[in-house]
Structures are given as C-alpha cells and as structure tokens.
Amino acid sequence: MLVLMLSVVVLLLIGGCVCVYWSARGDAPRWARGVAKATLLGSDLARGASRGSRSSRSGGSDDAGDD
C-alpha cells in the first residue's frame, strides 16, 4: 500500500514538472499553467520549510562546553 501511495506521489511530481516545462515554453493550455503555478508554489513552500527547520536547528544552545 505504501509503495502505491509513493508511486502516485512520484507520478504527480513528474506531471507537475512536465507542466512547468510546458508552461515555460509558452504554448501550454490554461490548466497546465495552473498546475505549473501550483507546482512552483509547492516547491517554494517546501524550500521555505526546509530553510526554517535548518535555522531552528542551528539556533539552539550547545551544552558541550559547559563542563
């Protein structure tokens, strides 16, 4: 079941990338431009989330030098 869900997610990601490429060429229909916009928004959100978790990890205190 997990393999099936991951396969669907990978296929959706590939489809989104194809729509981004198609939209960048300039001859994509409206629905493909919408999928491309949603894909780019999702990538921006994922990039922001990874940036936020990285900064919160490095911002913590280190107790190794307090001995």
Q: State pTM to two decimals.
A: 0.67
Per-residue confidence band for 50, with pLDDT thresholds at 50, 70 and 90 = confident
In a domain, 6, yes or no: no
At residue 49, the pLDDT reads: 87
Phi-psi region of 58 (alpha: psi -120 to 50; beta: other; left: phi over 0): alpha
In a domain, 66, yes or no: no
At residue 20, the pLDDT reads: 96
The total domain count for the chain is 1
What pLDDT digit, counting tens, does each position of 2-44 carry? 999 999 999 999 999 999 999 999 999 999 999 999 999 999 9
In a domain, 35, yes or no: yes
In a domain, 22, yes or no: yes
Neighbours of 13 (CB within 10 A): 13
In a domain, 51, yes or no: no
Q: Which domain holds residue 29?
A: 14-46
In a domain, 4, yes or no: no
In a domain, 38, yes or no: yes
